[in-house]
C-alpha cells in the first residue's frame, strides 16, 4: 500500500497484492466501492511521478532533500531523531506558544504546521517543519533565523 500524493505530486494511492486480496478489496472495502476511478490527468500525473522518482534526476533530488534534512537536524538540538524523515517536529510546549510561533513564522514566510495539545497531550504542542528539495541553503538559513526570532532554543 502506498500513496501517490505529496512526494509524487499526484493524488490517490495504490495497493499491490495477490489476486485474492485484490478481489476481496474490490468487493468488501467500502471506501473503494463508493469511489470512482481516477481521472486520466491524475493517472498521468502519478505515472510521471513514478518515472521521475526512478530517474537520475529523481535520485539527485532525493540526495538534496536528505542533505537538507541532515543539515537542519544537526542544527536543531531539540529535533528528535525517531527515524529517517524530512518532517522535523519542534516541541514548543504550550499550545498558545506553538500557535503564536506558527503565526510569527508564517509572517516571515515560513509555513510550519502547528500540532495542538489535543492530539499530543499536555505541554506537547509542536511545530512541524517539512523540507523540500526545492529549498535552498538560503531558505534554510532564513528558517533558522526565524526560529531564533521566535526564541526557540537552537
Position of cell 537552537? 154
Measured from the Cβ of residue 106, the count of other Cβ atoms closer than 10 Å reads 13
Question: Which residue did the predictor score with more confidence, 104 or 72?
Answer: 72
* Residue-level pLDDT at 64: 93
Instruction: Looking at the structure, tell me whether residues 88 and 136 fall in a common domain.
Output: yes
Determine the length of the chain: 154
Mean pLDDT, rounded, of the chain: 81
Convert the pLDDT of each residue in 82-136 to its tens digit. 667 888 888 877 778 777 877 777 776 766 665 555 555 666 777 888 888 888 8
Place of cell 511521478: 49
Joined together, the cell numbers standing for residue 52 give 521521475
Backbone φ and ψ for 90, nearest 5 degrees, come out as -120, 105
Shared domain for 79 and 108, answered yes or no, is yes
> Of the candidates 17, 33, 53, which is a domain's last residue?
53
Which residues share a beta bridge with 17?
none
For the chain, the farthest-separated pair of C-alpha atoms sits apart, in whole angstroms, at 56
pLDDT at 149: 74
In this structure, how many other beta carbons lie within 10 angstroms of the beta carbon of residue 48? 13
Domain presence at residue 117: yes
Asked if 64 and 120 sit in the same domain, the reply is: yes
Model pTM score: 0.70
**Co-location of 113 and 140 in the same domain:** yes
* Residue 154 included in any domain: no
Identify whether residues 60 and 35 lie together within a single domain: no
Structural domain of 76: 56-149
Mention every residue, 6+ apart, whose C-beta is less than 8 A from residue 87. 128, 129, 130, 131
Residues 46, 22 within the same domain: yes
Give the confidence band of 144 by pLDDT, cuts at 50, 70, 90. confident
- How many CA atoms within 13 Å lie on the side-chain side of 14? 11
Strand partners, 76: none
Amino acid at each position: 500500500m502506498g500513496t501517490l500524493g505529496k512526494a509524487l505530486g499526484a493524488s490517490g494511492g495504490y495497493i499491490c497484492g495477490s489476486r485474492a486480496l485484490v478481489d476481496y478489496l474490490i468487493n468488501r472495502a467500502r471506501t473503494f466501492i463508493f469511489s470512482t476511478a481516477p481521472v486520466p490527468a491524475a493517472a498521468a500525473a502519478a505515472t510521471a511521478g513514478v518515472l521521475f522518482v526512478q530517474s537520475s534526476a529523481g535520485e539527485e533530488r532525493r540526495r538534496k532533500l536528505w542533505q537538507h534534512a541532515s543539515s537542519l537536524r544537526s542544527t536543531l538540538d531539540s529535533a528528535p531523531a525517531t527515524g529517517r524523515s524530512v518532517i522535523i517536529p519542534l516541541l514548543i510546549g504550550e499550545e498558545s506558544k506553538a500557535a503564536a510561533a506558527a503565526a510569527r513564522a508564517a509572517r516571515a514566510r515560513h509555513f510550519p504546521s502547528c500540532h495542538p495539545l489535543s492530539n499530543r497531550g499536555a505541554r506537547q504542542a509542536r511545530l512541524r517543519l517539512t523540507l523540500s528539495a526545492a529549498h535552498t541553503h538560503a531558505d534554510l538559513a532564513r528558517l533558522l533565523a526565524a526560529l531564533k526570532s521566535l526564541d526557540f532554543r537552537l
